[in-house]
Structure 1
């Protein structure tokens, strides 16, 4: 084909100049205009969560994207991919894209999220629950900022914002000549993940079955808007770190018979905590509703849940029912007050009473799962309310955990528990008596290492399966201090599932540099006009030549 084309061009050059000029240049323009676009950039994107909980859909329902990029400043967003930086994000802009039926939304995150202005961080944290609670048809993605992606955003912003100040003809010309970007995802449409198991870890043996405490919390991170960005540093990486340190400390105390307390301990790492505490719910059903299981059949002194304890100078004991005077849970409350007031006066301690609202679809705190089953339980946290955005935000990253304060809070819990199980109050022990000192003291380096490891990887429930390295590492760590580590799996009922997870949460997106469709139309019009002008010029040129030769002929005659 190329040989035939070369012969045609060769004959054209050998012919008269006007024919070459008229045909060759348009032919080159026609051949060049539809050349395939080059890929401007390839980058990883993280899709908003998609799951069903108790029959209610959450998050985005779509994962396929193939549309032209625009910024929210453009007048028309219909069937366009709206890209915006987190620094410029607002709920009004987000709703504008949804109202105009945008094809997708891509939010660009800065490289260092902890360096973002606090007002922007707080604003986005407050918007995340609303974004997640709204069933969104269009795909919503996050992307980490880099130089090329920022250049794409800048060019698209310039193109989108300039159109508002131009005339109609200028807008048409600008639209036809400007470069655009076609955003395309390489993944398939999302589908439900079948037979997914939420994993929990229980630690007990013949010596410490259960009678005193159940350190129960969600070691998997919250269901944030974007699961692949859910590192859950304070909520609840801090709780995991504290539990592991408590397991280490009390395993030493329980090693010797002379220091073995009258209470037994059980440590429980529950999975799927922010999915309405599915791991805890199934564990309670298995141990309370089955006659062949006696784990919780005996008297449980109390259940202590640890949640978001890596920052702040306050500690709140959240309860569904105030403890009765003289009960073990009452003694724990008093011992926490004693330890805080005598050893850490800078900490403000309080008890917050909130009744369980069974009408709500989601429980507020994990201890409510135990309260429903009439087991005495409470949650310790530095947050005064379960509604605060820190519990479920992608902004909850490693810098949000102050290891010194986490170490202090761990010491408070360990000392208060020890005073309860060894009955030091009735024995008249002073409030400033410290049990965990010297070789038995809380290891700040250990806490820091665990938090660093947990926040180095996303831990959303859809990403942590039974073969995950997170599960196996935690299991190994617990087995180092305690015996008989057991796994508990929770699978959704196939007929009436309480939870359904979906895939395609992480994809590769390509930004292709393209010309708009109107460019081809404008090019065709220009070529047609050019050919028409050349045709008319040749006709006039030929007429002039004929007239010239006639005049010369008459002169010679």
Structure 2
């Protein structure tokens, strides 16, 4: 038994350090002889301008409950198991907004959301419905500071069986305790510590333009930028094919094409082209801020305009240009007309969205 416990502990330490993945131990307190291990993923924690969001707590050692608890029940030492298929968003909103005491939350995701599952065929409609619920839940969780641990897990036969038993127990009006039995959710790990100075890595490329004979002035610069990371309520579950994998792919392809053109003086333009892949996009574009601050004044002043590629993997042959300056701006009109002309030849539609940006707002997008 001691050898098995040591082996399990070593496995947990190894997986946690490499994948930021923790495990939840579901133990049957009443029988004291049944246990199962389930992969779980912790809710994100982060700061924006010194304001904490998400949850700072990770360890758990509370009894399991369901949404079928009695009205007025004390949930301060209960981890509520919530299948996203049955999500009562009003319950979550109530506990999050009013800071009601709660032992923790465990959200159960359908198997169709696993990366290895395509979710095609008859699952498409169900997946779309659940996806909309998840989007609402994610906005609620990541914009709040939660005083209890929150985890996500995927449904499977074992955890479904546990949830069925928990629901039956809650339906009797007798909450699970150390004396009455039931299931207990245990995550015996240390509480996470704040990273004082997170690593921000930016990648930069440069193509030198061709000056005209006798031109001593510095050439103007076009900056093409994409943020390469993604964001989600559970970092280990975040996927970013269009946020912003598509933007990264587009930037690399543009860089490849222009590097071919600029390798020949006859096809080299009168502009320098600056390429930047930046990190920290979802965190108020921290990586982009750091990258811009690293420029010397001459380079910064030479930039005529910048194009930021984000979420360009359109499914309906539409692309949108988002601008902060009025559409009458000469550069914007030139870019928009150029994109529109090419898009028409390729069967795409290009639209323009004008929205002022409040740079003093610390909130990310």
TM-score interval, normalised by the smaller of the two chains: 0.7 to 0.9
- 127, 146, 153: which is aligned to 1:143? 153
- 167, 171, 180: which is aligned to 2:182? 180
Q: 1:279 deviation in Å?
A: 0.9
Q: Distance in 1 between matches of 2:279 and 2:286?
A: 7
Partner of 2:319: 315
Give the direction of change, closer, same or farther, for the CA distance of 1:329–1:96 in structure 2 (3 Å limit). closer
Partner of 1:295: 299
Partner of 2:85: 87
Q: Distance in 2 between matches of 1:185 and 1:137?
A: 16
Q: Distance in 1 between matches of 2:351 and 2:311?
A: 16
- 45, 49, 58: which is aligned to 1:50? 45
Give the direction of change, closer, same or farther, for the CA distance of 1:176–1:339 in structure 2 (3 Å limit). closer
Task: Give the greater-gyration-radius structure (CA).
Answer: 1
> For residues 260-299 of structure 1, what are the structure 2 equivalents within 5 Å?
260-287=268-295, 290=296, 294-298=298-302
Q: 1:49 deviation in Å?
A: 0.9
Instruction: Tell me, yes or no, if the aligned pair for 2:242 and 2:312 is still in contact at 8 Å.
Output: yes
Question: What TM-score results when the alignment is normalised by the length of structure 1?
Answer: 0.52
Question: What TM-score results when the alignment is normalised by the length of structure 2?
Answer: 0.78
Q: Distance in 2 between matches of 1:40 and 1:274?
A: 38
Runs of 4+ with >4 A deviation: 96-100, 174-179, 205-210
SS in 2 for 1:87: helix
Instruction: Tell me, yes or no, if the aligned pair for 1:357 and 1:363 is still in contact at 8 Å.
Output: no
Paired residue total:
314
Instruction: Tell me, yes or no, if the aligned pair for 1:301 and 1:329 is still in contact at 8 Å.
Output: no
Partner of 2:214: none
Structure 2: gaps spanning 5 or more residues: 1-28, 114-118, 211-217
Give the direction of change, closer, same or farther, for the CA distance of 1:90–1:309 in structure 2 (3 Å limit). farther
**Between 198-207 and 40-49, the greater mean CA deviation after superposition:** 198-207
Q: Distance in 1 between matches of 2:95 and 2:63?
A: 14
Partner of 1:248: 256
Instruction: Tell me, yes or no, if the aligned pair for 2:56 and 2:191 is still in contact at 8 Å.
Output: no
Question: Higher strand share goes to which structure?
Answer: 2
The higher relative CO (CA closer than 8 Å, separation ≥ 6) is in 1
CA RMSD for the aligned pairs? 2.7
Q: 1:335 deviation in Å?
A: 0.8
Q: Distance in 2 between matches of 1:284 and 1:110?
A: 42
Give the direction of change, closer, same or farther, for the CA distance of 1:257–1:154 in structure 2 (3 Å limit). same
Give the direction of change, closer, same or farther, for the CA distance of 1:358–1:35 in structure 2 (3 Å limit). closer
Q: Distance in 2 between matches of 1:349 and 1:228?
A: 34
Q: Distance in 1 between matches of 2:284 and 2:178?
A: 52
Partner of 1:354: 355
> For residues 155-170 of structure 1, what are the structure 2 equivalents within 5 Å?
155-160=165-170, 162-164=171-173
Q: 1:215 deviation in Å?
A: 2.1
- 203, 207, 213: which is aligned to 2:222? 213
Q: Distance in 1 between matches of 2:327 and 2:266?
A: 30
